[in-house]
Amino acid sequence: MSDTDGPERTKQPGAVPVEGGGIFQSRADGQLHFTPESVGSTNPISSPVDATPLEEDEPEGIIPPSPLWAMKDKRHEQWVMFGHADRLRKRFGTGDGTIYVIDDGKHHCMIGRRVGATLDGCIYSLVARIDRDTYISLEADAITAQAAFARSREPALVATAEGDGVSNLFDIDNYRHPDDIPVQYLPPHAFIEFAHDLPAAEH
């Protein structure tokens, strides 16, 4: 989604015109509120500064483009225009055991890890959807990252190819059950250097 889909920009800092002549007020985190007096009582609106849903502001800076873009693409709840109170960006583990987490609505999260790459820079990531109880267990260090994938739904291997300011996503494989995930793709297995690009999934 780009600025051309939203209201016309003004030169007045912190103000965006809306129907009826009111304005949205900017916050320090880059999001906007419905009216100046609603700062403490309403959920904010994401400011569309030349962005798509995958390019939204990422102030945490803790998740690399792959698997971040793959998780955003696969999550069910796509926050395009409206901000939300359930935003989540987490990283657990170190090295090859690292797993990343983002929000997917109030009751689910997306998890992801970097599986490997080809010499031309295409990155392959394993992503999946988990419920909040699984996330809470992961956060409490009560389960391993591999166990989190074992409890997941809709696991998939996704390729991210970056270049010239754009990133393209390709579905490589969609697994019907976590047991179908190749064991070498699961944490804490080592990062794989693929000799050739993996074929994209057929739809």
In 14-55, beta strands by DSSP E: 25-26, 31-33, 45-46
Are 149 and 67 contacting, i.e. CB atoms less than 8 angstroms apart?
no
Give the total number of structural domains in the chain: 2
Are 109 and 102 contacting, i.e. CB atoms less than 8 angstroms apart?
yes
Are 125 and 169 contacting, i.e. CB atoms less than 8 angstroms apart?
no
Query: Strand, helix or coil at 95?
Result: helix
Q: Are residues 87 and 140 in the same domain?
A: yes
117 token code pair: 């790459």
| Number of Cβ within a 10 Å radius of residue 185 | 19
Assess if residue 68 is contained within a domain: yes
On average, the pLDDT of the chain sits at 76
| pTM of this structure | 0.70
pLDDT in tens, 100-118: 999 998 899 999 999 999 9
Supply the range of the domain harboring residue 46.
Answer: 1-51
Q: Are residues 89 and 147 in the same domain?
A: yes
Assess if residue 107 is contained within a domain: yes
Q: Are residues 184 and 150 in the same domain?
A: yes
Q: Cis ω on the peptide bond leading into residue 188 (within 30° of 0)?
A: yes
pLDDT > 60? residue 172: yes
Q: Are residues 13 and 104 in the same domain?
A: no
Q: Are residues 36 and 89 in the same domain?
A: no
158/40: higher pLDDT = 158
- Taking residues 159-176, report their average pLDDT: 81
Domain edge (last residue) among 10, 30, 51 = 51
Q: Are residues 96 and 145 in the same domain?
A: yes
pLDDT in tens, 48-107: 444 455 556 676 789 998 899 999 999 987 654 445 667 899 999 999 999 999 999 889
Assess if residue 201 is contained within a domain: no
pLDDT of residue 161: 85
Are 89 and 63 contacting, i.e. CB atoms less than 8 angstroms apart?
yes
